[in-house]
Amino acid sequence: MKAARLHAFHTPFAIETVPDPEPGPEDAIVRVRAAGVCRSDLHIWQGELAWVGIRPQLPITLGHEFGGEVVAVGRNVRRFVAGDRVTVPFHNGCGRCPQCQSGRSNLCDEFGFYGATYDGCFAEYVRVPNADFNLIHLPDEVDFVTAAAMGCRYMTGFHAVMRGRVQPGEWVAVHGAGGVGLSAIQAAHAIGAQVIAVDIDDDKLEKARTEGAAVTINSRREERVFKAIKQVTRGGAHVSIDALGLAETVFNSVRCLRKGGRHVQVGLTSSSEQGMVALPVDIMTTGEIEFIGSFGNPHVAFDGLLRLVAAGRLRPKALVEREVSLAELNDVFHRMLRFETKGFNVITAFA
């Protein structure tokens, strides 16, 4: 099969012919029909995220967002057969640990990550470990490109909105109008929230308006972002989601909240922060501000997410900027490095 292989960090992918994967007893092999190119892939390509335990052994095939068809299953797989249309969460679970057993598979004690723990989906085929637990059936109304668009950024933005307990009519500030941010904006708008989008790029802010933002703020021109949000909302946002993970956006997200507000941290920090940022703790304490972490989306939450997508209430495919070939992967990464992508790029041609 064709696969994009990473042999050294910060170097171009090599499009190579490699052996097709074989299923173990609990595994499935999926023919990849669409694969999203995520900024998390870029961080892994750069050798970042080691401080959260994500640093693959090279060479490896990256990619963790995909939709496709089952072509083979191991002898112990019971819930899936060849021909099934499927997707996966980017985080695999063991199905046995206390987290998985309590419905929080995104926090699995034996967490697995496509394109880091093992080979990912920038290839014609991908192996799915523990398939009965980790594969997700796709409804007929959900196509493969939509499934790939949901695979990391969209489901992460959706879960962040759920974690923030967003209610109709509430003000929700979203810091960063990239893939995760736009996904959160679309989900919060669908619930009936009043959304404020914050970014430095006017084109991304315009896209945010298209996806439901009632107010946009360019943080490059607005020196005191949190004060601007408090003015618009007459006291502060009820919920604020940081989709970037920069020290500045974490601070602005916490400070823009009204008393009793909920800050949701979904963006992982960069190599400059490595998880360490300053917080206005006294203001958080006296205002009873909640700091809520949000990671991925539990397997058990996929059914509800897929029903909303199938019904047209949520539209991940609207965030797809363009479909590309596997041979164009290096170009997509160069565009991501220059922050030129606006929405999702999805690989749909692999040969």
Q: Are residues 171 and 120 in the same domain?
A: no
Residue 267 resides in a domain: yes
Q: For the whole model, what pTM was predicted?
A: 0.91
Q: Are residues 48 and 169 in the same domain?
A: no
Walk along the chain (351 residues) and give the pLDDT tens digit of each residue: 999 999 999 999 999 999 999 999 999 999 999 999 998 888 888 887 776 677 789 999 999 999 999 999 999 999 999 999 999 999 999 999 999 999 999 999 998 999 999 999 999 999 999 999 999 999 999 999 999 999 899 999 999 999 999 999 999 999 999 889 999 999 999 999 999 999 999 999 999 999 999 999 999 898 799 999 999 999 999 999 999 989 999 999 999 999 999 999 999 887 777 778 889 999 999 999 999 999 999 999 999 999 999 999 999 999 999 999 999 999 999 998 888 888 899 999 997
Q: Are residues 86 and 216 in the same domain?
A: no
Which of 119, 68, 57 has its CA nearest to residue 92? 119
Chain segment 50-97, per-residue pLDDT in tens: 766 777 899 999 999 999 999 999 999 999 999 999 999 999 999 999
Residue 256 resides in a domain: yes
Residue 235 resides in a domain: yes
Query: Quick check: 174 and 164 in contact, CB under 8 A?
Result: no
Based on the structure, what is the number of domains in the chain?
A: 2
- The rounded distance, in Å, linking the Cα atoms of 157 and 184 is 4
Instruction: Identify the DSSP state of 49.
Output: -
Please tell me the chain's helix, strand, coil percentages from 3-state DSSP, rounded to the nearest 5: 35, 25, 40
Q: Which amino acid is at 28?
A: A
Give the β-pairing of 171-175 and 136-137: unpaired
Residue 135: CATH number of its domain: 3.90.180.10
Q: Which residues of 178-193 are buried (b: 16+ CB within 10 A; e: fewer)?
A: bbbbbbbbbbbbbbeb
With tokens 């995520």, the residue in question is 38
Q: Are residues 192 and 248 in the same domain?
A: yes
Domain boundary among the residues 293, 314, 340 is at: 293
Q: Are residues 199 and 270 in the same domain?
A: yes
Residue 158 resides in a domain: no
Q: Determine the structural domain holding residue 260 and report its residue range.
A: 165-293
Cβ neighbours of residue 105 under 8 Å, at least 6 residues apart? 89, 91, 93, 95, 99, 133, 298, 299, 300
Which long-range CB contacts under 8 A does 338-343 form with residues at least 24 apart? 339/201, 342/201, 342/203, 342/204, 342/207, 343/179, 343/182, 343/207, 343/319
Q: Are residues 272 and 305 in the same domain?
A: no
Q: Are residues 316 and 272 in the same domain?
A: no
Residue 160 resides in a domain: no
Q: Which amino acid is at 71?
A: V
Q: Are residues 178 and 145 in the same domain?
A: no
Chain segment 87-136, per-residue pLDDT in tens: 999 999 999 999 999 999 999 999 899 999 999 999 999 999 999 999 99
Residue 238: CATH number of its domain: 3.40.50.720
